[in-house]
Structure 1
Amino acid sequence: MRLAMVVTGGLHPGGHEQVVPSLLALFSRLARRHEVHAFALRHLPRATTYNLRGFIVHDLGRPSAPLGLGRWAQALALRRALKAAGPFDLVHGFWGDPAGLLAARAGRRFGIPAVVTCDSGEFVSRPEIDYGSQRSARGRSAIAEACRLASYVHVCTTYMKDLAGQHGVPAAVIPIGTTTPGSIIEGEQTRNEPGVFAPRTKSEPGILRILQVASLSRVKNQRLAIDAVAILAKSLRVHLDLIGEDTLGGELQAHAVTLGLANRITFHGFVPHAELPSHFTRADVYLQTSLHEAAGVSVLEAASFGVPVVGTRVGYIADWAPGSAAAVDGRTPGAFAAAIESGARDAVGQQMRAASAHRWATTHDADWTAAQVEKMYGDLCGSRIRPPA
């Protein structure tokens, strides 16, 4: 098949920074059997085309126009690029707006099936943090049009499918798996295999290490993690590792200092994906504090390393609880501290949840995802499939 993927960005030619690892893994696997072209709407400052891990990237160079016509400029640039590189069997937009909407419109224009992946805030409204497409008329209209025009709406979790259903959108669930190279078995990194799991050995006996991998932002809500650590620190030796780009201008670091936690929390900033395994191997608990997650790829990565997962009942944690993750319903520091401490005291129960999550994550890995997506494409395209060039 000849496949057109539409993304906002996340496919930097370097292949390490400014990338979305899960999409990079999916596209590169599909490219082993199909001709894959990815169209980036607003990443690099100048339009350029390059090869990346077996597929072709057409960066549109941030097309823009005055008087609020930026979306029109993106649509025009995408149509021209699709026509120049085509014809294609199918177009797939990742995230409902703008990529999903423009992909769905292009599908109608070129008479080909269009898939829209909703894997962000498409079906939520959190006005208190300026988050979610449903908080504005324009956002609601964009998501409704994208889903109406799509041949197929795809989400990664049952949690997100239920949110879509509340807005009258039928969606199918295919998790986008990870490529994390191993689980940790008695301190040794081994290849992921479904069902291969053994209890983890603490890297630092006596210290409870808590990890979160996410951009520091309002929706990820790391302030809650910091406040929970402040409570835990009164009775436990605890350390919180926060990995992710800071979008809050040092606000959380200042909050940690105010609470006297400067020596209990490490703000690592951005860490390349290839360097994350060393952090997962040290962690005793992975903590999710997000106000919303459509899925939560870092939760998958933690699970594939056998790290027990605790967090808000959104995304994968909502799907997995109670058997494979500990979901916290009360979004207060006390509730999170209690959940973390309870898991630490019930080692057997926590390891059982971690083993179950590990089996799930390593079964639904990037190879599994590529096979499911390929089947979906084949069902949509049927006899119309064009051979790769």
Structure 2
Amino acid sequence: MKLALVIPGGVDRSGEFRVIPALLALIERLARTHDVHVFALHQEGAAGSWELVGATIHNIGDGWTRLRAIAAIRAEHRRVPFDLVHAIFSGSCSLIAVAAAKLLRLPSLVHIAGGELVALHEIDYGGRQHWKGRLREAWVLRGADVITAASAPIIDSLQALGLNARRVPLGVDLRSWPPLAPRRRGDGPARLIHVASLNRVKDQPTLLLALAALVEAGLAFQMDIVGMDTLQGEMQQLASQLGLERCVRFLGFKTQRELRPMMESADLLVMSSLHEAGPLVLLEAAVAGVPAVGTAVGHFAEWAPAAACAVPVGDSAALAEAIQKVLADEVLRLQLAVAAQRRAVLEDADCTAQTFETLYRQLSMAGSGHRRKIVPLTRP
């Protein structure tokens, strides 16, 4: 098959920086047996193209991005016709994918991987904040032939809107991020890790307030916070105000190779997000044998209580209590780690690719006659 994937970014030329590892793993697997063309909206400011993990990347760039993305898909389709168009993330990506598919009379798939279905007005986040976004999502999601999402809470949100969807987690590449058996804690302070960009939706203030409560309770720990800072030092300043300088380190962005030993040395992953479709880092921690405590969103909500410990969103006291509980009970901590790893390994990157390929074949078989009619109209 010839596949058009529409994504916001995450496919940098380097293959290491400004990438989404689970997305690269999916693209690489699809490219083994299909002709994959990835249309990245904003990987770079200027338009360009390059090869990456076996696929052709078409970077659209700034300025009239949606119209130029649709034009780029149509141009490549005229050269050799696509079989379908697949958007990873909704919003602009799915609008482009569904519009292009309708123009070319092709099937379309939309994968919900972000905040497309939420409206968090207090932080100006989500695809349903304004009527334009709600109208766009309604048109896109009802126009797509197949809708998928990473976790059960997102499936539930779609069902509340009267939409059927298939759960397809974006799994971990077990070759580059191999499983490591859960292990007992060592002596000394607990090793905590938080992996996320510093931004409003990740809600690091709740995380830092929870850590301050742990200090007050007398818990000895070291927290490593890994991720690009988009808040111009606000979280570092808050950590200082809370007296956390000695037990919290802000380490900035790390590549997967740099992150792996840090994850392996951790006793617990801690997340504080207001919303997640995943998060992917929970799957990575699980594969590396590290259990997790976090707010009840995405995979945390669907894995709790057997494979993760989940607390109410925005509740720093509950987050601190959950961290203490898991660290104080080594049997529980290891039970969470084993159950989480079992889930993450079963739904790895191979599983993701195979599930999407099954959906592709089903769409191809259902619409092959319809598409054959338009091939003469789209030949070069």
**What's the TM-score bracket when you normalise by the shorter of the two chains?**
over 0.9
Indicate how the Cα distance of structure 1 residues 61 and 227 shifts in structure 2: closer, same or farther if over 3 A, else same. same
Q: 2:165 aligns with which of 171, 190, 197?
A: 171
Q: Match of 2:268?
A: 285
Q: Hey, what's the Cα distance between the residues in 1 that align with 2:237 and 2:33?
A: 50
Q: Hey, what's the Cα distance between the residues in 2 that align with 1:124 and 1:153?
A: 16
Q: Match of 2:227?
A: 244
Letter in 2 for 1:233: V
CA shift digits 1:292-321 (9 cap, x unpaired): 001100000001111111111111011101
Letter in 2 for 1:302: A
Q: Hey, what's the Cα distance between the residues in 1 that align with 2:127 and 2:222?
A: 35
What is the deviation of 1:85? 4.6
User: What pairs with 1:15-34 in structure 2 (closer than 5 Å)?
Assistant: 15-34=15-34
Q: Match of 2:201?
A: 219
Q: Match of 2:98?
A: 104
The question of 1:78 aligning with 2:60 is answered no
Indicate how the Cα distance of structure 1 residues 108 and 381 shifts in structure 2: closer, same or farther if over 3 A, else same. same
Letter in 1 for 2:295: T
| More displaced stretch, 310-319 vs 8-17 | 8-17
Q: Match of 1:5?
A: 5
Q: TM-score, normalised by structure 2?
A: 0.92
| More displaced stretch, 23-32 vs 34-43 | 34-43
Q: Hey, what's the Cα distance between the residues in 2 that align with 1:40 and 1:334?
A: 40
Q: TM-score, normalised by structure 1?
A: 0.90
Q: Hey, what's the Cα distance between the residues in 2 that align with 1:134 and 1:353?
A: 34
What is the deviation of 1:198? 4.3
Indicate how the Cα distance of structure 1 residues 382 and 163 shifts in structure 2: closer, same or farther if over 3 A, else same. same
Q: 1:299 aligns with which of 256, 261, 282?
A: 282
Unpaired runs of 5+ residues, structure 2, are 373-380
What is the aligned length? 368
SS at match of 1:160: helix
Q: Retained in 1: the 8 A contact 2:70–2:99?
A: no
Q: Match of 1:37?
A: 37
The question of 1:125 aligning with 2:119 is answered yes
Letter in 1 for 2:142: R
CA shift digits 1:161-199 (9 cap, x unpaired): 00111222211111110125588xxxxxxx43xxxx744
Q: Hey, what's the Cα distance between the residues in 2 that align with 1:272 and 1:198?
A: 22
CA shift digits 1:32-70 (9 cap, x unpaired): 111111011222222222110111111123232xxxxx5
Q: Match of 1:62?
A: 62
Q: Retained in 1: the 8 A contact 2:290–2:337?
A: yes
Q: Match of 2:188?
A: 206
Letter in 2 for 1:206: G
What is the deviation of 1:330? 6.1
SS at match of 1:50: strand
Q: Match of 1:352?
A: 335
SS at match of 2:228: coil
| More displaced stretch, 244-253 vs 321-330 | 321-330
Unpaired runs of 5+ residues, structure 1, are 65-69, 184-190
